[in-house]
Chains A and B, each alone.
Chain A
Amino acid sequence: MFLKRLISEMRFITELWKMNLASALEYRANFITQSIGMLINDAIFFVFWVLFFDCFKSIKGWGLQDMVLLFSIITTGFGVGMALFGNSMKVAEIIAQGRLDYYLVLPRNVLIHILASRSMISAYGDIFFGVLSFFFFTGPVTAEKTAIWLIASLLSGTVLVCAASLFGCLSFFIGNATTLAGQATNAMMILSVYPDTIFQGGVRFLMYTLFPAALIGALPYRAVRSLDWQSLVLLACGALFFAILLTAVFNAGLRRYESGSALNVNM
């Protein structure tokens, strides 16, 4: 029964994604400029690391190729996640503006429907960059490495989508949390793209748990770098945890919304 429901929802997500793509291709020029723009954006960061490691050969066990690998995982994961679930970063806004009602009167899983109703166009630029940099700038590529990289990237994207949506759910509880959720997500992304070994103590612990910057960056990186399937399993557990947490928090928030006591929500 649950499986049947799951398959039905997955088919639905595919439909939504196809429609999003069609909608984006309506403006082909825009699609291209946005993707290229993101490509340039990512490339600049790449240039930064080239210059940085030109001065400092390695820091805390990280060299240039390591940084590129890290970045390729994050951009690929981010790209796929935001291409499929483009509303992850808009959840706070959607709740605060009372746009939930549209989804509530339709017979589909509300959370998934919301998340998949939009596709971030520039994300395709990220995917392109991520794939390209993995195959050309991270050293020798083997089948095993590619497989781990792919799974790790997808899991990283999953954590990102769940965490960003979680921050967005704050709107259920504290009113319009659009800016706060946006800042939290940005902060998480910033932390994820730097070597985690430069941090210590409390922050490092947070990055691996409730503020999962390390689950988006460092852990998947380690799995690929050392071809470590165990790390991959750990990462999968982390992704599962966040998916479950998101579902629970969203449903709790939805109950609040339905009781009418969600503050400052534009009813």
Chain B
Amino acid sequence: MKGVRAFVGKYLAIAVINFQSSTAYSGEVVMRSIMITVILYVLVHLWKAAYGASGSTVIAGLTIRDTLWYLVLTETLILSKSAFSTRISDEVRDGSLAYTILRPYNYIVYHMSYSLGDSLVKLVMNFAAGGLVVLILEGPPEHFTLSSLPFLIVSILLALVLDFCFEGLIGLCAFVLEDVSSLQLIYNKILFILGGMLIPIDFFPRWLAALSKALPFNLILYGPATIFVKGDIGAAAGVLVMQSLWILVMAGILFALYSRTMKYLSINGG
């Protein structure tokens, strides 16, 4: 009996210490979740008015609940994704890259796992906060099926990886440009439109929708959000395939450029 008590006590102590040290941090995280609450609150009212004005319950194949839960997911993803490129450019600027690069294989993978961990926490908090708003004001997602859940989870992970590849490429530009914040901004804005964050791509005029679907950006936001909202397993699988293909391409380019940069650095001594 004593042994069990000691065992439990030890882990309880660890949990308590983690709680204490993270209360300051989690206060911040909670406060940042206020952002998505406000955004979704506004979007609910905007789209309610839009659907009301048009007079129909289904537009471009989506009901109002579909659209709103779609937006919950895209907003969550965009607010939770990493700013990896900024981190690289900071390291290039203050020279700490010299240390972090010392283990070449691990540099990118390390940063990716770090980003993923960080993003997952934010994903949960943001989705909870944003989802709560839509749940209360409109209701639960209409066409989500439990069988699409595993597809959804995988597609979110793949979306983060794909985004990470782009961020990595932008980050590598820091070696040439030093300040990549404008590139990062442009990338973000591309995601806003061509990624389908502000408006579901289904609402786009045909030519724009075709363009968006041809480019990989929609796979970061529109892809996972559609799986969530439409519950179509076939389409879901399609999204996963496309995501994987583009990841192979972008990761390939990323690693190729990365090893080029490493060679250049070691030749020129940074």
Question: In this assembly, does A147 line the interface, its C-beta being within 8 Å of a C-beta of chain B?
Answer: no
**Cβ of B185: which chain A residues have Cβ within 8 Å of it?**
37, 40-41
Contact with A along B22-42 (1 / 0, CB 8 A): 000000100110110011001
Given contact pairs A30-B179, A33-B182, A56-B54, A187 touches B48 in the complex (Cβ within 8 A) = no
Q: Give residues of chain B (40-58) contacting chain A, Cβ–Cβ below 8 Å.
A: 42, 45-46, 48-50, 52-54
Q: Is the CB of A37 within 8 A of B199?
A: no
Which of B5-13, B145-153, B186-194 contacts the other chain?
Answer: B186-194
> Chain A: how many interface residues by the 8 Å CB criterion?
31
Check B193 against A48 for contact (C-beta < 8 Å).
yes
With an 8 A cutoff between CB atoms, is A173 at the interface? no
Number of interface residues of B (CB under 8 A): 32
Q: Is A180 an interface position by the 8 A CB rule?
A: yes
Q: Write out the residue numbers on chain B whose beta carbons fall within 8 Å of the beta carbon of A41.
A: 185, 189
Instruction: Kindly state the separation between the CA atoms of A59 and B46 in the bound complex, as whole angstroms.
Output: 8
Residues of A within 8 A of B235 (CB): none
Task: Determine if B34 and A183 form an interchain contact, defined as CB atoms under 8 angstroms apart.
Answer: yes
0/1 string, A31-74, CB within 8 A of B gives 1: 00110110011001001100110111111100000000000000
* B17 lies within 8 A of chain A by Cβ: no
Query: Which residue of chain B is the closest to A30 with respect to CB atoms?
Result: B179
Say whether B31 contacts A179, CB under 8 Å: yes
Asked if B182 and A36 sit within 8 Å, CB to CB, the answer is: yes
- Cα A37 to Cα B186 with chains together (Å): 8
Count of A-B contacts judged by CB separation below 8 Å: 80
Residues of A within 8 A of B48 (CB): 198
Inside 8 A of A59's CB, which chain B residues have their CB? 46, 49-50, 52-53
Kindly supply a per-residue 1/0 record for chain A positions 186-198, scoring 1 wherever the CB is within 8 Å of any chain B CB and 0 otherwise: 1100110011011
The complex places the Cα of A30 from the Cα of B53 at a distance, in Å, of 44
Q: Determine which residue in A59, A180, A195 has the highest number of CB atoms from chain B within 10 A of its CB, and name it.
A: A59
Check A205 for interface membership: any CB of B closer than 8 A.
Answer: no
Is A229 at the interface (CB under 8 A from chain B)?
no
For B38, the chain A residues whose CB sits under 8 A away are 186-187, 190-191
B198 and A198: CB pair below 8 A? no
Interface residues of B in 132-181 (CB under 8 A from A): 179, 181
Q: How far is the CA of A75 from the CA of B182 in the complex (A)?
A: 19
The yes or no answer to A199 lying at the interface (CB within 8 A) is yes
Partner of B45, one of A44, A48, A198: A198
With A52-B199, A187-B38 known to touch, is A60 a contact of B193 (CB < 8 Å)? no
* Shortest distance from the beta carbon of A195 to any chain B beta carbon, whole Å: 8
B107 within 8 A of A: no
Contact B192 A199 (CB under 8 A): no
Shortest Cβ distance from A194 into B: residue: B42
- Residues on A with beta carbons closer than 8 Å to the beta carbon of B28: 179
When the two chains form the complex, which single residue of B189, B198, B199 contacts A40, counting CB atoms closer than 8 Å? Answer: B189
Choose among B31, B39, B179, B189 the residue that contacts A180 (Cβ–Cβ < 8 A).
B31
Judged by a CB distance under 8 angstroms, whether B60 is at the interface is yes
Partner of A33, one of B45, B179, B193: B179
- With contact pairs A40-B186, A183-B34 given, residues A191 and B42 touching in the complex (Cβ less than 8 Å): yes
Q: Name 20 extra pairs, CB < 8 A, besides A48-B199, A179-B31, A183-B32.
A: A33-B179, A33-B181, A40-B185, A40-B186, A41-B185, A41-B189, A47-B193, A48-B193, A51-B198, A51-B204, A51-B205, A51-B208, A55-B203, A59-B46, A59-B53, A183-B31, A187-B38, A190-B42, A198-B45, A198-B49
The 4 closest A-B CB pairs, nearest first, are A198-B45, A187-B38, A59-B49, A198-B49
Q: Please report A residues at the B interface, Cβ cutoff 8 Å.
A: 30, 33-34, 36-37, 40-41, 44, 47-48, 51-52, 54-60, 179-180, 183, 186-187, 190-191, 194-195, 197-199
A sample of 13 inter-chain contacts (CB < 8 A) reads A33-B182, A34-B182, A51-B203, A51-B208, A52-B199, A55-B203, A56-B54, A59-B46, A179-B32, A183-B32, A187-B38, A190-B39, A194-B42
